[in-house]
Amino acid sequence: MAGAGTVQTMMRALRAPVVVFAAAGLLAGCASTITAVQDGEAPGGQVRVQRDTPRLAFAPLTGPPQPVADSLARSFAGAALARGLVLAPYRRRRSAYVVKGFISIVPGKNGTTAVYIWDVLSPDLKRLHRISGQSTDRASREDPWTALGPQTIDAIAETTLDQLALWLASR
């Protein structure tokens, strides 16, 4: 689990004037605490990546308001750590891959659906892989962003990082 200092660092990075998704920035202070993991599955069916996992940097996220971006960053940070993914600060440009994301909300009769796209980019910003999906929360509210509960936010992070870990393992 990420330490309190790490979460505070992530939260400071997310308070930028632009809506930012900086899970990597949140974990930047504890990158040395992310230990190497064995190949295979982690408890709970999570995909664990190889010992020589490349560093990932999350670019600013497009779409959600700041409170949702903050919740997503916390969720991504914990899910990345659980999967053995190594996150690097986006601004330092010292990662093997940059992950750039977009999230949109679609209110509907059966709840609120978050639609997301994540592009995995090379250091020179050429798209190498795309992850996309959607997650629906049964809640409906006047502001659809507030209908996304913690379970939906966690599901977005877990599904995205499982797909990312599988892609990394296949390379």
Percent of the chain beyond pLDDT 90?
43
H or E segment at 103? strand 97-108
The pLDDT-based confidence of 109 (bands split at 50, 70, 90) is confident
Is the sign of the CA dihedral 167, 33, 156, 96 positive or negative?
negative
Contact at 8 Å (CB) between 1 and 41?
no
pLDDT at 52: 65
Q: pLDDT grade, residue 99 (50/70/90)?
A: very high
Using CA atoms, how far apart are residues 50 and 39, in angstroms rounded to an integer? 5
What does the pLDDT read at residue 90? Answer: 82
Q: Predicted confidence band at 131 (pLDDT cuts at 50, 70, 90)?
A: very high
Distance CA 24, CA 158 (A): 15
pLDDT at 45: 47
Domains of the chain, start order:
4-170 (3.30.160)
pLDDT class of 54 with cuts at 50, 70, 90: confident
Residues forming beta bridges with residue 133, ordered by sequence position? 116
Backbone angles phi, psi at 99, to 5 degrees: -115, 120
- Structural Rg of the chain based on CA atoms: 15
* Token pair listed for 24: 């990597």
Report the predicted TM-score, pTM, of the whole model to 2 decimal places: 0.69
Which of 11-15, 104-108, 131-135 is the least confident region? 11-15
Question: Is residue 36 over pLDDT 60?
Answer: no
